[in-house]
Structure 1
Amino acid sequence: MEIKERIKQILQYVGGKENVKNAWHCITRLRFELKDKEKIDVEAIKKMDCVLGTAFAKEQFQIVIGVGVEKYYEELVEQLGIDANAPVEAALDEKKKDFVTWFMDVVSGIFGPVVPAIAGAGMIKGLMGGLVALGVITNTTDTYKVIDMLASGVFNFLPFFLAVSAAKKFRTSEYLAVAIAAIIMYPTMIEAAQAGEISAFMLFGMIPVPVFNYSSSVIPIIFGVWGLSYIHKWVDKIIPSAAKTVVVPTITLFIAGLFTLLVVGPVGIYCGKGLAWIIGSLFSVSPTLAGIVMGAIRPISILVGMHHAMTPVALENFSTLGYDQLMPMMFIANLAIVGAVAACYFKADTQREKQIAGSSVISGILGITEPALFGVLTKYKKAFIAATVASTVGSAFIGTFGVRLFGYITSSIFSIPAYIGPWFGYAAIGWVMTLAISFGLAYVLIRKPEDEKEEKSQVRKEADVQDEQKSPSELSAPAAGKVIPMQEIQDPVFSEGALGECIGVDPVDGKIVAPADGKIMHLADTLHAVGIQAGSVEILIHVGIDTVDMNGEGFQSKVKEGQSVQRGQELLHVDLQKIKEAGHPATVIMIVTNTEDFQIIEPAAHGNIKAGEPLMKVKMG
């Protein structure tokens, strides 16, 4: 049976799609938050050939699939219609997220789907702005007005686009979200703001509704839909089922609309202007200094996912100033990354590394720099430094000469025509300068093996990886503490052997080590579990019971996926006190997930044990 059909059955057995409030996964389990647990057909789920077991824990219903759970989750989110890129986010308690993490998640999630529309319109707008600046065309002809409609429509009515995207991100009604956008974009509001004759409408003769021009605005509608998501849930909860169809949207729209007009809309306007003012102040102090700061932080901001924070600022600049100087610096940073990776291509020792670097250069030129950063520059750290230096110098140069854009565009080679105008020459010099500095500096800093000894050392490392295929006859304890037999582990998934034969250790310290020589095959995003391939033995080290809920708090990884490890090498370091405070047993569980391949798997120790001492014997069948 295909995964698609299996997921259909699972959804049927948990009470249907409509019974699912939320779904996510850890390294072995699908986890559900359900509206009505009485609708679950547990026995039917257990009989499915893909299911190793089930469990209830802290209002969650868990279905144990095994280490291939990601494929099932991908199909699950497809059928549920939720964000396929949020396997971890769904599992997080939003209240535990710090504000910066939450903000970055929201901005990237909302702007990602909208980029094609604003990039296409931005390209047209940028070209037209450049031609007007050169005096090639004027903005008074009918031709210009028609083309301007093509370019400006998206930006003028941007709140509608963001409303749909934000509704998906906040998991609320898209049509009610668009209705909120329609409220703040209604001609009565926009015309009053443009006329500038009044500062507020008086609701009921005594409540002032601030007047603002929400055209092209970004933050107000995001805040408004965020408020809508909570108001909609609250109203839906208190209204009887018989009246939901008409009453719920009526009350929701009334409350959320007023909440947006009175509170979050004005707050969003001031926040947007505040962000633009901060960046603008930096440019007013010194455009060169602004370039240095923006150029220096751009590569690292992409690496940590914070680069999306600049998008609202750029859009605010286009809306209020008619141009933006940040986006040219974003393009400079992309070129710096491309140049450094191109140097890595010529310094690479293997054909595979050359292929990765070459493809990353192409994608970087097209505006996608993540492959270059994560696939190349995280390995060649000196090249990353070179890219940062080049980005800083190039951005400072174009900042000094005031290079700007007149419309939002993607930072790729296809955006070059949008720079046509008085500043094109400075922009071109900045591009060439950036590429030359990043390539040259990276090429000098990156060093190949200088003699045969280093090459032989590499050969020995590769031989060590091949030696991992040798299967160990015993597995060492992954932690120091008291041995816990499988049947006494406080989780039926483990104690009943659903994932395979296992054994536990009640740890006395937070050091988790490798039970055998092998290779890291899986590392949970929440760092509570590690999968190791030790020859033909597939091992899963699971730290604590239901610690996936901690979202990695108190867990520190010492290894990464694909890395070779030796017996006794530290894999994780965990804060046992935080696990205890979170209300979870800290039991460290070692599971042989391919138990069926062995004739004998049995404990090799009892009582107290030190990390690295023999804990389990294995013998092939």
Structure 2
Amino acid sequence: MMDYKKTAQGVLDAVGGPDNISNMTHCATRLRLNLKNDQINDDKVKAVDGVINVSRGGGQYQVLIGLEVPKVFSEFEKLVNGNSAQTVSTNLKPEGFKGYVNALFTAIAGIFAPLLPALAGSGILYGLLLLCSELGWISQKSGTFVILTAASKAVFYFLPILLAFSAARRFKVSPYIAALIAGALLYPDFIQLMGSHGNGAMTSFLGIPVVLMNYNSTVVPILIAIWAYSYLYRWLDKHVSKNLELVVVPLVCLLIMVPLTVIVIGPLGVYGGQLVANIVNWLIKNVPLLAGVVVGGGWSFLVSLGIHWAVNPIMINNIATQGFDFICPLTFACNFGVIGTALGVWLKTRNKELKSFSLTGVITICLSAIIEPTLFGLLVKNRRIWAAQIIAGALGGAYLGLTKVYTNAFVFGSVTTFPAFIAKNSNNFLNAMIGLAISTIVGIALGFIVTRRDEHLA
């Protein structure tokens, strides 16, 4: 079992100690650090027990830990802030355009990563529930079906509250006030103001016209609202007397942010989020072959840079608002392209170390969807093998795109997440399996062809 504190201490020592860290956060599998001096000995970091690999991308030094990274980060944060004269913030102060882009990727990763287990678990539960219903094991009119549906869909209905809490923790402001701001948008009496009209109904606040929207399952509005709230909260925290802070800060925050959100931020966020999602979905629906090739083939490149998080919110928004997503299956094509390519390498090479590494990677991806160890340990170091994986992912993605395969949950691509393809349209699951088989088989063939008998780990 990993010693989280020992791993955190080892990484901290290897990257130059607390004084060399200007920002720190983590995503689902990586410890993401902004270093003052990034001239680090990668081999020294990789030698730390618990570290799988390292990479640089998005202006960050990324230490691949795996699914246990939140626990390592918790110990890492204690060590950094406990040993340094000045507390290191988990908020990055951007400088220049590149700095703002890096800060955006960092914020997205920090906000969404804690929610991934809830999103994935709920989605898989819903897929299994649909399967049981189709097989006649559970009646859709039964209390069992309703209760399990509530369990699987609650995360999406109350997504604004969960995002508000996570975003507030990322921005270092009160998560409870943030949750109240989101909760106000889902308050039954507020929703009833729309009547039967739905989005676009009108009301007023102190004489100011308000365009009413249904905010359950939305992503963009609450993220913008909590980002704005973070500035208000910090300003109030700085200027309000400590004796009055307990009452005045939450009072003013709610009094300003809830009306500001429903009058300005909310409608703009809903329409803006819909516009981005509609553009992406239009491309996938109307140019499915191109979309499948680009995403299925290029996803591993985005993962290698750590910037795939910029696309994840679009998928989550699609699942939350429409109940399905066309992009997520294309990321499966990438993962199964990696599985196939690694199997091809395993079949061809005579090097025992590479055989063991490749097979371990296959098992890891099949069970947990983590491709980074194989990506950085094998593909990035060998462009011939990486090209084979890209082609395999692109061809599988092309089939998935042409047949318009979708998932009913936001999940990472592995064998254990196949239930996300279960839908009332039985062909969806069948086409998903065919597309992933294409990625795997092409990966095996090309991986075998491009691998030398004496191939070894670089």
Counterpart residue type for residue 392 of structure 1: A
TM-score, normalization: structure 1? 0.57
Q: Map 1:318-337; keep pairs closer than 5 Å.
A: 318-337=319-338
Give the number of the structure with larger relative contact order, counting CA–CA contacts within 8 Å between residues 6 or more apart.
Answer: 2
Aligned to 1:306: 307
Counterpart in the other structure of 2:16: 27
Is 1:378 the counterpart of 2:383 in the alignment? no
Instruction: Tell me by how many angstroms 1:140 deviates.
Output: 4.0
Partner Cα distance (1:237, 1:299) in 2: 44
Higher-helix-fraction structure? 2
Deviation at 1:439, TM superposition (A): 1.5
2:166 aligned residue? 165
Specify the SS of the correspondent of 1:212. coil
3-state SS of paired residue (2:19):
strand
Q: Determine whether 1:388 maps to 2:390.
A: yes
* Residue deviations 1:125-169 (CA, integer Å, cap 9, x gap): 223345667888664443322221111111111112112211121
SS of corresponding position for 2:412? coil
Deviation at 1:274, TM superposition (A): 1.6
Of residues 435, 442, 448, the one that matches 1:443 is 448
Q: Which amino acid aligns with 2:376?
A: F
Distance 1:75 1:314, change over 3 A: closer
Provide the secondary structure at the position in 2 that maps to 1:379: coil
For residues 258-273 of structure 1, the aligned pairs below 5 Å read 258-273=259-274
The CA distance in 2 between the partners of 1:417 and 1:115, in whole Å, is: 16
Counterpart CA distance in 1 for 2:413 and 2:223 is: 24
Distance 1:134 1:290 in 2: 33
1:126·1:405 contact (CA, 8 Å) conserved in 2?
A: no
**Closer/same/farther in 2, CA of residues 397 and 75 from structure 1, 3 Å limit:** closer
Q: Cα distance, 1:259 vs. partner? A: 2.9
Secondary structure of 2:404's aligned partner: coil
> What is the identity, as a one-letter code, of the residue corresponding to 1:430?
G
Residue deviations 1:286-320, cap 9 Å, x none?
Answer: 32232222212212111112222232222222234
Match of 2:187 in 1: 186
1:431 pairs with one of 430, 436, 447: 436
Letter of the structure 2 residue corresponding to residue 215 of structure 1: N
Q: Could you tell me which residue of structure 1 aligns to residue 233 of structure 2?
A: 232
Counterpart of 1:213?
214
Unmatched 5+ residue regions in structure 1?
A: 5-22, 34-66, 459-562, 564-621
In the superposition, relative to structure 1, how do residues 443 and 180 fare at CA in structure 2: closer, same or farther (>3 Å)? same
Please tell me whether the aligned partners of residues 401 and 426 of structure 1 are also in contact (alpha carbons under 8 angstroms).
yes
| Range 153-162 or range 261-270, more displaced | 261-270
Is 2:354 the partner of 1:353? Answer: yes
State how far apart, in whole Å, the 2-side matches of 1:306 and 1:123 are.
25
1:126 alignment counterpart: 127
Aligned to 1:602: none
Tell me if 1:102 matches 2:103: yes
5+ long unaligned stretches in structure 2: 6-11, 23-41, 49-71
Counterpart Cα distance in 1 of 2:232 and 2:14: 28
Amino acid at match of 1:377: L
Q: CA deviation at 1:405?
A: 2.1
- How far has the Cα of 1:90 moved from its partner? 4.8
Q: 1:138 to 1:76 in 2, by over 3 A?
A: closer
Correspondence for 1:516: none
Deviation of 1:446 after TM superposition, in Å, equals 2.2
- Residue type at the aligned position of 1:30: D
RMSD over equivalenced CA pairs, Å: 3.5
Largest Rg, 1 or 2: 1
Cα offset for 1:118? 1.0
Work out the number of aligned pairs and report it. 394
Amino acid at match of 1:393: L
Given that 2:333 and 2:435 are in contact with CA atoms closer than 8 Å, whether structure 1 keeps it comes out as: yes
Q: Is the 8 A contact 2:284 2:326 kept in 1?
A: no
Aligned to 1:546: none
- Greater shift after overlay, 137-146 or 373-382? 137-146
Paired residue type of 2:242: S
Query: Which secondary structure does the structure 2 equivalent of 1:241 belong to?
Result: coil
Within-5 A mapping of 1:528-543: none
Deviation at 1:186, TM superposition (A): 1.5
The answer for the alignment partner of 1:367 in structure 2 is: 369
Q: 1:76 to 1:394 in 2, by over 3 A?
A: closer
